[in-house]
Chains A and B, each alone.
Chain A
């Protein structure tokens, strides 16, 4: 079966697509690849029902997750497939606009997308505009993308309204990740989505970078595909900064698909698999990522702005040896109190990550001594 990155760079003109295509998406059980793993068909139906020829399709190529590279790779190497998905969405949903929302620092990806766009002859090409997503973590969140496209401010907004109710130009809006759209492109071309997932291998592997994983591929297979670990890892980060640390023995056997991981209480998120080398300090690593996530809060919601800062500060105090001894119990209380209390899922993701650290690095957090090895990455 054809895989995303082995597919021809360009197929012929797009086949005609009608509302029945949503059934095909449903049968393929495709879920979004931007992080939340939400069923694609459900979202399309919600927009289709309300469109009335006004819908807007936002192609999400913001890729704000620092360690992720797969969205850039798809845009750079298979831009036509992404456009296929976007044009089909426009056709099926009777959209009036298609917006390519591409991270401002992803220059190669943007120029590949623009070049591909210039080669297209379908009428949908005329619906397309291009926008540069600010290089901030939350700029890729769907409500932030919509806010930016409407008012030039890339911060999340309160729901309701949800995008399918009122998004860009106050019209029903589909925000879809670029990898998801490329999958849609192949589904339309070949009658079958490839059942693969793009993951980014990071940290202590021989070859960091993107890998296309077939269904059933485990973390161990993927790491082997990346040349194996550079040294025995202390833990594996599954799902990036909104994901979870997992003990290596457990992680190796995990399959790289959203459904199975969810049953394990985990998530594939944006597909980052990071190996923490055994010589790195898990506490300092966790504190560094928490500081980053706290700084990336859009500072609109108290529990996120003050909460993440407090969490990051407590981690940092444990990490640099200045804790009064109560920080660990504070952290344990706060990880229960902070989630679910922001306008977007930023605090939820950050807390999920931290909770996994407190669990997996239980001993290290309890016995941490300040040391000089602040950051290893």
Chain B
């Protein structure tokens, strides 16, 4: 377990309106079809408030913040 928070996009929910990338260009860019590319997903502390806004403002609630964990 760590305290590191990770930005995760639900790929089925996301319909590529790109709001998240506008809010958080430091972490999210869009591909040629308008869908977000989240490179590592790790959110540095100073970007947490914006990341939280991305979570709240995504029109389809596809963005979540998760504690980084080891895969099973």
A residues in contact (CB < 8 Å) with B? 42, 46, 157-158, 162, 164, 300-304, 306-307, 310, 334, 337-338, 341-343
Contact = CB atoms under 8 A, between A and B. Distances in A.
Contact of B33 (A300, A306, A342): A306
Nearest to B32: A310
A96 B14 CA distance: 36
Given A310-B33, A337-B31, A302 B72 contact: no
A302 B14 contact: yes
B38 to A, nearest CB: 8
27 contacts: A42-B72, A46-B72, A158-B11, A158-B12, A158-B13, A164-B72, A300-B12, A301-B11, A301-B12, A301-B14, A302-B14, A302-B15, A302-B35, A303-B11, A303-B31, A303-B33, A306-B33, A307-B31, A307-B33, A310-B32, A310-B33, A334-B32, A338-B31, A341-B9, A341-B35, A342-B11, A343-B12
A343 B62 CA distance: 12
Interface of B: 9-16, 31-35, 37, 72
Given A301-B12, A342-B11, 7 more contacts: A157-B12, A158-B10, A158-B11, A301-B14, A302-B33, A303-B31, A303-B35
Contacts of A42: 72
Contacts of B11: 158, 300-304, 341-343
A50 B20 CA distance: 36
A303 B31 CA distance: 8
A323 to B, nearest CB: 16
9 closest A-B pairs (Cβ-Cβ)? A301-B11, A306-B33, A302-B35, A300-B12, A302-B16, A343-B11, A343-B12, A303-B35, A158-B12
